[in-house]
Structures are given as C-alpha cells and as structure tokens.
A = this chain, B = another copy of it.
C-alpha cells in the first residue's frame, strides 16, 4: 500500500468531507463550489466523494439537511403540461416537507438561517441556483426570476405556517386541499 497523502475512505473521512462541504458552500456559495474543490480541500479523491454522495446537489442536501432534492422533485415532468407540472411540484414539495425527518431539517435550516449569515447564504445560493432556475424555466414572461422567487416564497411560507408557526387551517389541511388552491395561484404567476 502506498501512501498518497490522501485520506482513505472511512466514516471519519465522510464526516471530514461534510465539514469541508459545509464550510465551502457557506463561504463561497453553492454555485462557486465544485466537487473537485471540496475533494482537494478534504484531501480525498473526487471519485471517493462521488462514491459517498453522488452529485453536488446530493452532497449539499446531506451537508445542510435540506430535505428538497430538486432534481427528484422535477423528475418525470418532461412532456407534462404546465398545470400538471405545477401540481406535481406542489404535491412533491408537500410530500417532502410533511415527513417527520424533513420537518426537523426545515426547523434546523430556518433556525440556522435566521441566526447565522453563513447558513442564510447557503440556503440562498441553493434556492437561487437550483430551485428558482427550474421554476423560472417554466415561464416565458418578463420578470421570470422575480416570478419564480414569489412562487418559492409561497412554498416557503406554506412550510412556515404548516410546520413552524402551525397555523390551524394550513396545518390541518390535506395535501389535496392545499394543491387544489395553490396550484392555480402558481399558474397565475407563470402564465
């Protein structure tokens, strides 16, 4: 066995990678952070990083506890009409934020974002680079980035009222009831 100066793959290595990822996402932002730069910083082979975590989005999800995998959320929507896509987006979002694990992750994320600029920066970068870009691509109207951000604000607000502040009507509503009211409103932003 030769020693290359790179760490072998152990549970400690995994934690070390996550620590480096959190620091780089927080200080450089999601966009400017590559898997390669995290691997270099953590002194591991990029292949090991991919082996452990998959894509950059997966690593971010793991590093932040963010429960939303945007790629999964929007998967299978190709060829669907805009109303169908929006309904799937809202339904998928609710599925994600309604799980116990996700609820706790959301609480942790929001708590971090209001207290620490770095956590807010991390959440902002991710929302901007991944979620908002995907939603903005659904519309050809002017102001697409602002429209997409207001859609995201609606979704973030629903999670806040449903799981953080727990306002009765939103907390008790079924996903179907919420989708029925919210999907047409999101359409209004994008069409």
Contact bitstring A163-175, B, C-beta under 8 A = 1, else 0: 0111111100100
A177 in contact with B146 (CB, 8 Å): yes
Does residue A128 face the partner (Cβ distance < 8 Å to B)?
yes
CB interface residues, A 33-71, toward B, < 8 Å: none
Closest to A173 in B: B146
CB interface residues, A 134-191, toward B, < 8 Å: 143, 145-150, 152-158, 160-161, 164-170, 173, 177-178, 181-182, 184-185, 188-189
B124 in contact with A167 (CB, 8 Å): yes
Does residue A107 face the partner (Cβ distance < 8 Å to B)?
yes
Binds B, one of A3-11, A76-84, A94-102, A108-116: A108-116
The smallest beta-carbon distance between A96 and chain B, in angstroms, is 16
User: Chain A binding site: helix, strand, loop or mixed by DSSP?
Assistant: helix
The smallest beta-carbon distance between A50 and chain B, in angstroms, is 29
Does residue A127 face the partner (Cβ distance < 8 Å to B)?
yes
A153 contact from B128, B158, B166, B168, Cβ within 8 A: B158
The smallest beta-carbon distance between A63 and chain B, in angstroms, is 17
A-B contact pairs, 12 of them (CB 8 A): A111-B114, A113-B165, A124-B167, A143-B177, A146-B170, A146-B177, A149-B169, A150-B158, A153-B157, A154-B154, A155-B157, A184-B188
A110-B164, A113-B164, A150-B185 known, 9 other contacts, Cβ within 8 Å? A111-B111, A114-B114, A128-B167, A143-B177, A146-B181, A150-B158, A153-B158, A156-B157, A185-B188
